[in-house]
Amino acid sequence: MSQKNWKEIPIGGRITKPGSSLEYKTGTWRTFKPVRDESKCSQCLLCWIYCPDSAIHVKDGKIDYIDYDHCKGCGICAEICPKKCIKMEKE
Amino acid sequence: MATIKELSAIPERLVSGHRLCAGCGASIAVRQIFLGTKDPIVAGSATGCLEVATTIYPYTAWNVPFIHNAFENVAATMSGIETAYRALKKKGKIKENIKFIAFGGDGGTYDIGIQSLSGMLERGHNILYVCYDNEAYMNTGIQRSGATPYGASTTTAPAGKVLPGKLQLKKDLTAIAVAHKIPYAAQATIFYWKDLVNKATKALSVEGPSFINVLSPCPRGWRFPQEKTLEISKLAVETGVWPLIEIENGTWRFTYKPAQKKPVVEWLKAQGRFKHLFDEKNKHLIEEIQKKVDEHLNYLEKLCSATAV
Amino acid sequence: MTKIIPLTGDQAAAEAMRQINPDVVAAYPITPQTEIVMTFSQFVADGLVDTELIQVESEHSAMSACVGASASGVRVMTATSSQGLALMWEIVYIASSMRLPIVMAVVNRALSGPINIHCDHSDTMGARDSGWIQIYCENAQEVYEMMILAPRIAEHPDILLPVMVCQDGFITSHATEGVKIIDDKDVKNFIGEYIPKDPILDIKNPVTYGPLDLQDYYFEHKRQQAEAVKNAIVKIPEILKEFNKLVGKEYGFIEKYRMEDAEIAIVCLSSTCGTARVVIDELREKNVKAGMIKIRFFRPFPAEEIVNTCRNLKALAVLDRAESFSGRGGPVYNDIRSALYQSVNIPVVNYIYGLGGRDIDKNHINIVFNDLIEISKTGKIKKLIDYLGVRD
C-alpha cells in the first residue's frame, strides 16, 4: 500500500476496511513450509482449528488449501495432524 | 454443541496477515472463542500482543467491529459499547443480536486491568471477558506479571545467581472473577478446543457478564519450539498446573480430568523459562511447585463438593 | 416562554443534560462535581431521561466507557473535576484523537497536592494540549447555556472534537442563581439528532478503532486533529449565530467589557470576571478608561480577536488561576503574550491568583488596575509576573 497523506486517510485513526491485513503477506516469514499429502488426510479439520494464522482454509467441511501468502511455517499443523499427512519442508 | 465441520462453516472473524509470532497461542485462543457463536460480534482488546499485532495501521486483521482504547480499560470500554447497544435497542434503533467480547492479556487483566474488569463484572454488563493468559507482559519483552507462575524466569524477575525467578505465587484470577457472583466463569486452554468452544458457547449464551481464562502458551516467552504450542497447552492440563474448570452460578466443577496425571516436572522441563530449576541449588523448588499444584487441585475438589447443587 | 428557576452551577449543568437527554452517561463522583452526577442520577431514577447511566468505578473507567459508547454512535456526556480529570488524562487524549464528540462538564478544582477541593484552573489548564475544545463559564446561566451549545460544536462534521464546559468549583457550582431556562422542545430542536460517523455498532461496516500507528502514520493523524481545531475556529461563530438567536445573547469566543475606548485592561476567565466588572464600573466613575476581556473559548485559542481588541491599549494584565510552573507565568498569560508578539507591542503583565480557592476581591483587582495605571504612565514594568493574594 503506498503511503497516503493526512487528507486521504479516514479521521480518528479509524481503519474502515475490515480484514485489510490480508494485503500484508506474512508468508515471507517462513523457513519451513507445510506440505499436505491429500491422500492421507482424514479431514479431521484439526489443522484448521489450530492454525494461529487462519491460514488453512476449509470449504464444505473439507480442507481446501493452505494460504502460503500468510502461513508463517510454525509447524503446529504438522505436529498435530493425527495422520501425519503434513510435512514441514525447507523452502 | 456443533461439530468441527459445522464450526468450520463459520466465516473467519480474525483473518491472516496479523503479525503475531509464528506459533502464538493467543490467536488460536481468539479464533476458538469466536466459534462460540454465529451471531455478529463486536470485539475489543487491551493493549498487548493481540491488539498491537492485529491493528498495525493501515492494516487490521479484524473482520468484525473492533476497538482498542488503552492498556487497562478494555472492560470499561466494552461496558460503554454494550450500554450504547442497550440504549439503541431500547429505542428500536438497532435490531440485531450482537455479542460483546473483550480480550485482554494477563497484563491487561490480572494487573493493570483488574479494576476495570471488576467494575464491569459488578455492574452486570452482558459481555464475555476473555483473558489470553501467557503468564507475563509478553509484548514489552517477557516481564513478570501477577499471572507469572512461581519459579518462572522473566526479564524483570529473572533467574540469577542469587534469585530463582519469580518468588510470588500466581494470582487466582478465575476465583476473583467468580467472587463477583457472575453467572459463568471458566478456565480453558487451546489444545482442548472442544472444551474451549463449549465454554465460549455457554458464556455467550448467558445473560450477564462471563469470564474465561485461557492459558495461551507463548513460544518466545516460555522458551519452547514454535510447533510445540499445543503440546505445552496439553501438558498444562495433564500435570494439573491448569485445571479445566467451569463455575456456573457459584457451582464449581471440573470439565475434564486427565486419565493419568503427570508429574509437574514434565511441564517444567519442557520450557526454557524453568530450566534454572534443574540446577542443584534450585531442585527443592520443583518439589514445592508439585506440592502447590496438588494442594490447589485438592482445594478445587473441595470447592466442587462444597458448591455442588 | 421565560422560566427562571433557582439552580446552582452543578444543577444547571444537570438540567442541561436532562434536556439534551444523552443516550449514555458514564460518570464518577468527585467534589465539587458530585451534585451533577447525583442530580442526574435522580433524573434517571425518576424516568425523566432515557439515558443509560453507567456507575463506573473510577474516572479512568468513566472516560473509557464514554469512548466506547461514543464510538458506538450514541450521544455521550460526563462530568468531573481535578483529580478525576487527572486520572482520566490518558483517555482524554485518546477521546480527542478518536474524534469523538463527547461533552464533559468540568468543575474546576485545584490539582493535588496537597489535596484541595476548592477552585482553581490547574485541572483544565493541565489538559489544554489534549485537543479538546475548552469553554469557561462565569456563572450558572452560562454553564446551562454552554452545556446546551456544546453538542452542536462537538458533533459538527468538520470539527468532531470533544468539548469540556468548565465552571468554578464551589464559587459557581454550589451557589444558587436564577437561571433562565429554555423550553425542552427548543433544546431538542437546537441540538437535533446525532448522526454518528463510522459507528462501531454498524456491524455491516466493521471499523477498527484505536490501531497501532508506527512512525509512518502518527504524524498524519495528529495533523488531522490540528486541522479540526482550525475548522473549529471557523465553524464555532456560525453555530454561535444560531445559538445566540435562541438564547437572546451575543456569545462569542471572548466577551469585551467596556473595551471600545479602554486604555488599560485585564484578561480573565470564569467567575472572577463578575468581580472585575464591578471594579471596572467604579474606575470608570473616576474617569479611568478600564476594560476587561473575558475569555470564553480558551481552546481553540481566539488569538485574532484578542489581538484586534488590544490594539489601542496602553497596558494589559492577564489573570491566571493556575501556575504552569514554567518560571515565566501562567498558561493564559503565555498564550496571550504569544498572540500579541509582533502584532501589538504593549506591556503585558501576569498575576497568578486564587490558587486552591484563595479568594479574590475588589481590592485585589484594584491593585492590578493601579499597577496598570502606573505602567501606562511610566512605560515601566516593576514586576512582570506577580502573585495576587498569597501571603508573602
- Interface check for B37 against chain C (CB to CB < 8 A): the answer is no
pLDDT tens, position by position, B44-67: 999 999 999 999 999 999 999 999
Q: Do B56 and C73 touch (CB under 8 A)?
A: no
Q: Say if B7 falls within a structural domain.
A: no
Contacts of B304 (CB under 8 A, 6+ apart): B252, B253, B254
Task: Find the mean pLDDT for residues C337-360.
Answer: 97
> CA of B171, closest CA in chain C: separation in Å?
22
Contacts with A75 from chain B: Cβ below 8 Å: 23, 225-227
How far is it, in rounded angstroms, from Cα A85 to Cα C258? 89
How far is it, in rounded angstroms, from Cα B118 to Cα B130? 13
CA B235 from centre of chain: 16
- Interface check for B68 against chain C (CB to CB < 8 A): the answer is yes
Query: pLDDT at position B85, please?
Result: 98
Nearest CA in chain C to B39: C203
- Cβ atoms B163, B157 nearer than 8 A: yes
Angle CA(C41)–CA(C44)–CA(C47) in degrees, nearest 5? 150
Q: Do C26 and B79 touch (CB under 8 A)?
A: yes
Q: Say if A27 falls within a structural domain.
A: no
- Cβ atoms C254, C302 nearer than 8 A: yes
How far is it, in rounded angstroms, from Cα C266 to Cα C319? 7
pLDDT tens, position by position, B130-179: 999 999 999 999 999 999 999 999 999 999 999 999 999 999 999 999 99
> CA of A9, closest CA in chain C: separation in Å?
8
Decide: helix, strand or coil at residue A88: strand
Q: Do B4 and A53 touch (CB under 8 A)?
A: no
A64 vs A26, A36, A61, CA distance in Å? 20, 11, 9
C-alpha cell at B281: 541449588
Q: Do C211 and B116 touch (CB under 8 A)?
A: no
How far is it, in rounded angstroms, from Cα B232 to Cα C86? 43
Q: Which run of H or of E encompasses C104?
A: strand C103-108
pLDDT tens, position by position, C257-289: 999 999 999 999 999 999 999 999 999 999 999
Q: Say if A43 falls within a structural domain.
A: yes
pLDDT tens, position by position, A4-58: 999 999 999 999 999 999 999 999 999 999 999 999 999 999 999 999 999 999 9
Percentage of chain C beyond pLDDT 90 is 99
| ipTM score of complex | 0.96
- Cβ atoms C82, C30 nearer than 8 A: yes
**For the stretch B84-101, what's the b/e string if a residue is b when 16 or more beta carbons lie within 10 angstroms of its beta carbon?**
bbbbbeeeeebeeebbbb
C-alpha cell at B201: 458457547
Place of cell 485489510: A20
> CA of A25, closest CA in chain C: separation in Å?
18
Q: Is the pLDDT of residue C1 over 80?
A: no
The burial of B231, by beta-carbon neighbours within 10 Å (0-12 exposed, 13-18 middle, 19 or more buried), is given as middle
Decide: helix, strand or coil at residue C271: coil
Report all structural domains of chain C as residue ranges with CATH numbers, in order of start: 3-247 (3.40.50.970), 254-388 (3.40.50.920)
Q: Do B63 and A75 touch (CB under 8 A)?
A: no
Q: Tell me which residue range forms the domain holding B44.
A: 14-307
C-alpha cell at B291: 506440592
How far is it, in rounded angstroms, from Cα B28 to Cα A51? 7
Q: Is A54 left (phi over 0), alpha (psi -120 to 50) or beta?
A: left
Q: Say if A68 falls within a structural domain.
A: yes
- Interface check for B300 against chain C (CB to CB < 8 A): the answer is no
- Interface check for B11 against chain A (CB to CB < 8 A): the answer is no
- Return the HEC string of chain B: CCCHHHHCCCCCCECCCCCCCCCCHHHHHHHHHHCCCCCCEEEEECCCHHHHHHCECCCCCECCCEEECCCCCHHHHHHHHHHHHHHHHHCCCCCCCCEEEEEEEHHHHHHCCHHHHHHHHHHCCCEEEEEEECCCECCCCCECCCCCCCCCCCCCCCECCCCECCCCCCCCHHHHHHCCCCCEEEEEECCCHHHHHHHHHHHHHCCCCEEEEEECCCHHHHCCCHHHHHHHHHHHHHCCCCCEEEEECCEEEEEECCCCCCCHHHHHHCCHHHHHHHCHHHHHHHHHHHHHHHHHHHHHHHHHHHHCC
Give the total number of structural domains in chain B. 1
Decide: helix, strand or coil at residue C16: helix
Q: Say if B9 falls within a structural domain.
A: no
Task: Find the mean pLDDT for residues B62-90.
Answer: 98
Q: Say if A2 falls within a structural domain.
A: no
Dihedral pair phi/psi, residue B119, rounded to 5° = -60, -45
Nearest to B19 among A26, A30, A76 (CB): A26
Q: Do A19 and B60 touch (CB under 8 A)?
A: yes
Q: Counting one residue from A and one from B, how many pairs have CB atoms under 8 Å apart?
A: 127
Q: Is the peptide bond before C114 cis (omega within 30 degrees of 0)?
A: yes
- Interface check for A59 against chain C (CB to CB < 8 A): the answer is no
Chains that touch A (3 or more CB pairs under 8 A): B, C
Dihedral pair phi/psi, residue C140, rounded to 5° = -65, -35
pLDDT tens, position by position, C280-333: 999 999 999 999 999 999 999 999 999 999 999 999 999 999 999 999 999 999
Query: pLDDT at position A2, please?
Result: 74
Task: Find the mean pLDDT for residues C35-41.
Answer: 98
The burial of A5, by beta-carbon neighbours within 10 Å (0-12 exposed, 13-18 middle, 19 or more buried), is given as exposed
Q: Do B62 and A9 touch (CB under 8 A)?
A: no
Q: Do B57 and C214 touch (CB under 8 A)?
A: yes
Q: Counting one residue from A and one from C, how many pairs have CB atoms under 8 Å apart?
A: 50
- Interface check for A36 against chain B (CB to CB < 8 A): the answer is no
- Cβ atoms C306, C293 nearer than 8 A: yes
Residues constituting chain A: 91
**For the stretch B236-249, what's the b/e string if a residue is b when 16 or more beta carbons lie within 10 angstroms of its beta carbon?**
bbbbbbbbbbbbbe
- Interface check for B229 against chain A (CB to CB < 8 A): the answer is yes
CA B115 from centre of chain: 17
pLDDT tens, position by position, A74-91: 999 999 999 999 999 998
- Cβ atoms C71, C200 nearer than 8 A: yes
How far is it, in rounded angstroms, from Cα B296 to Cα B175? 12
Q: Do C224 and A14 touch (CB under 8 A)?
A: no
> CA of C193, closest CA in chain B: separation in Å?
13
Query: pLDDT at position B1, please?
Result: 79
Q: Say if B257 falls within a structural domain.
A: yes
DSSP-assigned states of every residue in C206-252: --EES-B--TTTHHHHHHHHHHHHHHHHHHHHHHHHHHHHHHT----
Contacts with B86 from chain C: Cβ below 8 Å: 52
- Interface check for B92 against chain A (CB to CB < 8 A): the answer is no
Nearest CA in chain C to B49: C212
Query: pLDDT at position A1, please?
Result: 55
Task: Find the mean pLDDT for residues C29-39.
Answer: 97
- Cβ atoms B289, B267 nearer than 8 A: no
Average predicted confidence (pLDDT) for chain C:
97
- Domain at B51, CATH number: 3.40.50.970
Rounded (10°) angle between helices B114-123 and C59-72:
70
DSSP-derived secondary structure letter, C112:
P
- Cross-strand partners of C179: C5
Contacts with A33 from chain B: Cβ below 8 Å: none
How far is it, in rounded angstroms, from Cα C269 to Cα C254? 10
pLDDT tens, position by position, C58-80: 999 999 999 999 999 999 999 99
Q: Say if B248 falls within a structural domain.
A: yes
By a Cβ cutoff of 8 Å, what residues of chain C touch chain B?
23-24, 26, 50-52, 54-58, 60-62, 64-74, 76, 90-91, 94, 200-203, 206-214, 217
Contacts with A47 from chain B: Cβ below 8 Å: none
Q: Do B4 and A69 touch (CB under 8 A)?
A: no
> CA of B206, closest CA in chain C: separation in Å?
21
Nearest to A1 among B55, B58, B64 (CB): B58
- Direct distance between the N- and C-terminal alpha carbons of chain A, in angstroms, rounded to an integer: 27
> CA of B262, closest CA in chain C: separation in Å?
42
Q: Counting one residue from B and one from C, how many pairs have CB atoms under 8 Å apart?
A: 158
How far is it, in rounded angstroms, from Cα C310 to Cα C146? 26
Contacts with C102 from chain B: Cβ below 8 Å: none
pLDDT category of residue B293 using cuts at 50, 70 and 90: very high
Contacts with B36 from chain A: Cβ below 8 Å: none
Q: Do A6 and C224 touch (CB under 8 A)?
A: yes
Which one of B20, B41, B83 makes the best mutation probe of the C interface by having the most chain C beta carbons within 10 Å? B83
How far is it, in rounded angstroms, from Cα C327 to Cα A20? 50
Decide: helix, strand or coil at residue C1: coil
- Interface check for A2 against chain C (CB to CB < 8 A): the answer is no
Place of cell 481590592: C363
Query: pLDDT at position B129, please?
Result: 98
- Domain at A55, CATH number: 3.30.70.20
Q: Do A4 and C213 touch (CB under 8 A)?
A: no
Q: Say if A32 falls within a structural domain.
A: no
B253 vs A22, B7, B129, B247, C72, CA distance in Å? 41, 26, 20, 6, 37
- Interface check for A17 against chain B (CB to CB < 8 A): the answer is yes
A82 vs A45, A56, B228, C355, CA distance in Å? 10, 16, 15, 73
Residue C297: name the closest of C356, C226, C229 by CA: C229
Query: pLDDT at position C2, please?
Result: 76
- Interface check for B1 against chain A (CB to CB < 8 A): the answer is no
DSSP-derived secondary structure letter, A15:
B
Task: Find the mean pLDDT for residues B234-260.
Answer: 98
Contacts of C23 (CB under 8 A, 6+ apart): B84, B87, B88, B91, C50, C51, C52, C69, C74, C75, C76
> CA of B8, closest CA in chain A: separation in Å?
6
pLDDT tens, position by position, B278-289: 999 999 999 999
Give the total number of structural domains in chain A. 1
Task: Find the mean pLDDT for residues C191-202.
Answer: 97
Q: Tell me which residue range forms the domain holding A80.
A: 39-91
As a whole number of Å, the CA-based R_g of chain A is 17
Task: Find the mean pLDDT for residues C145-171.
Answer: 98
Amino acid at C382: K
- Cβ atoms C309, C259 nearer than 8 A: yes
Q: Do A74 and B22 touch (CB under 8 A)?
A: yes
Rounded (10°) angle between helices C140-155 and C218-247:
130
Rounded (10°) angle between helices C89-97 and C218-247:
90
Q: Say if B2 falls within a structural domain.
A: no
> CA of A65, closest CA in chain B: separation in Å?
13
